[in-house]
């Protein structure tokens, strides 16, 4: 009986806490990547507006329903457009944004190669 | 020759960068909702205002006539402003006005309706704002004109006399 008490205390301490910590992690990760549409320059996670609070409740609900992170983004993108996401995906408006650094890297590499390595030889 | 080429490339690239940034300046960085989106109404379940009965969107939007879904709240001042306009649309034959009470205190909402009269045939309650998100709404008031289970027009902000004329044109 004495041991049972210790075992129960041990289980209560180490069982439930881990689960809720995981949920909070994905919840805050998702809400940090969502833009608050009525309070400019703030994420849903940081904002305390009515709109942001509703989205937070919605994200928790969707996570409980078994939605994945991407499915939640797709759901909200369909409702509010690309603007609600801080991390824009590939589309015709963002090709330039995504490819420019790569292009600059290649051109820069070519210049360095031409200037220093080929000249040296 | 080499400096000439370098000089012209530098000028051209700075001009390109200037125009890209200049064009970017004119883009608004405030969220502007699309008003003319024609899409199907979302599926949702909602409690009827001041009761425990739950109805889903298929039960609410059954008939082929026009529906006006109005998101309102007693704490929202522009809702008070647009209320007389909704009352004017109340008697339209083929238009049913449905209210979605957004994040409201039920006692205040009842007072609001008692004071200003209710234009709604049915009021749904959205206690935590999730149903408004299903509709893609981002504040109160917001109004959707629905026909054949499709959104045909969206009004962000309070309705005005011009919107009445437009809605009447749609439903005639």
Residues B112-143: tens digit of each pLDDT: 999 999 999 999 999 999 999 999 988 889 99
Nearest to B133 among A38, A40, A55 (CB): A55
The whole-angstrom distance between B170's CA and the closest CA on chain A is 24
Residue in this structure with the two tokens 């054949």, named with its chain if needed? B148
Cα B127-B133-B134 angle, rounded to 5 deg: 105
Residues B21-36: tens digit of each pLDDT: 888 888 776 777 777 7
In a domain, B54, yes or no: yes
Structure confidence at residue B100 as a pLDDT band (50, 70, 90):
very high
> Domain of B140: which CATH number?
3.40.30.10
In a domain, B17, yes or no: no
In a domain, B70, yes or no: yes
In a domain, B119, yes or no: yes
In a domain, B3, yes or no: no
Residues A37-90: tens digit of each pLDDT: 888 788 999 999 989 999 999 999 999 999 999 999 999 998 888 888 887 777
Averaged pLDDT score across all residues of chain B: 89
Which range of residues forms the domain containing residue B83? 39-171
Residues B42-94: tens digit of each pLDDT: 999 999 998 899 999 888 888 788 999 999 999 999 999 999 999 989 888 88
Cα B95-B101-B103 angle, rounded to 5 deg: 160
In a domain, B49, yes or no: yes
In a domain, B5, yes or no: no
In a domain, B159, yes or no: yes
Residues B34-50: tens digit of each pLDDT: 777 778 889 999 999 98
ipTM of the complex: 0.78
Residues 59-88 on A with a CB inside 8 Å of B are 61, 79-81, 83
Residue A111 touches chain B, beta carbons under 8 Å: no
The whole-angstrom distance between B109's CA and the closest CA on chain A is 17
Taking the C-alpha atoms of residue B33 and residue B95, their distance in angstroms, rounded to an integer, is: 25
Q: How far is CA A93 from the centre of its chain?
A: 21
pLDDT at position A13, please? 73
User: Which of A40, A43, A50, A88 is the mutation pick for testing B, counting most B CBs within 10 A?
Assistant: A50
Structure confidence at residue A94 as a pLDDT band (50, 70, 90):
confident
C-beta of residue B99 within 8 angstroms of C-beta of residue B120: yes
How far lies A8's CA from each of A1, A3, A5, A16, B48, in Å? 11, 9, 5, 12, 45
Answer yes or no: do B130 and A80 touch at CB < 8 A. Answer: no
Q: Which helix (H) or strand (E) holds A11?
A: helix A2-14
Structurally, chain B folds into a number of domains equal to 1
The beta strands (E) that lie in chain B are given as 39-40, 45-48, 54-56, 66-72, 95-102, 122-126, 142-147, 150-156
The whole-angstrom distance between B93's CA and the closest CA on chain A is 31
Residue B138 touches chain A, beta carbons under 8 Å: yes
Q: Which helix (H) or strand (E) holds B171?
A: helix B161-171
């Amino acid at each position: 009986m004495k041991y049972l008490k210790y075992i129960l205390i041990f289980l209560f301490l180490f069982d439930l806490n881990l689960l809720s910590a995981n949920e909070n992690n994905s919840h805050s990760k998702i809400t940090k990547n969502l833009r608050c549409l009525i309070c400019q320059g703030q994420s849903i996670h940081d904002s305390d507006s009515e709109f942001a609070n509703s989205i937070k409740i919605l994200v928790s609900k969707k996570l409980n329903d078994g939605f994945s992170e991407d499915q939640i983004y797709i759901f909200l993108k369909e409702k509010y457009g690309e603007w609600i996401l801080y991390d824009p995906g590939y589309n015709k408006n963002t090709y330039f944004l995504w490819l420019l650094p790569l292009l600059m890297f290649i051109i820069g590499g070519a210049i360095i190669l031409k200037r220093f390595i080929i000249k040296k030889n | 020759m080499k400096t000439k080429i370098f000089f012209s490339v530098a000028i051209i690239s700075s001009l390109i960068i200037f125009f890209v940034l200049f064009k970017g300046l004119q883009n608004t960085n405030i969220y502007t909702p699309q008003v003319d989106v024609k899409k199907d109404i979302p599926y949702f379940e909602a409690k009827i205002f001041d009761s425990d009965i739950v109805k889903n969107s298929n039960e609410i939007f059954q008939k082929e006539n026009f529906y006006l879904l109005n998101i309102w709240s007693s704490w929202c001042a522009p809702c008070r402003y647009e209320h007389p306009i909704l009352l004017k649309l109340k008697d339209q034959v083929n238009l049913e006005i449905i209210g979605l009470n957004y994040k409201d205190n039920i006692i205040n909402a009842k007072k609001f309706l008692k004071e200003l009269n209710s234009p709604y045939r049915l009021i749904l309650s959205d206690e935590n704002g999730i149903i408004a998100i299903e509709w893609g709404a981002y504040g109160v008031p917001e109004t959707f004109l629905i026909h054949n289970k499709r959104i045909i027009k969206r009004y962000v902000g309070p309705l005005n006399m011009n919107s009445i004329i437009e809605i009447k044109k749609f439903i005639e």
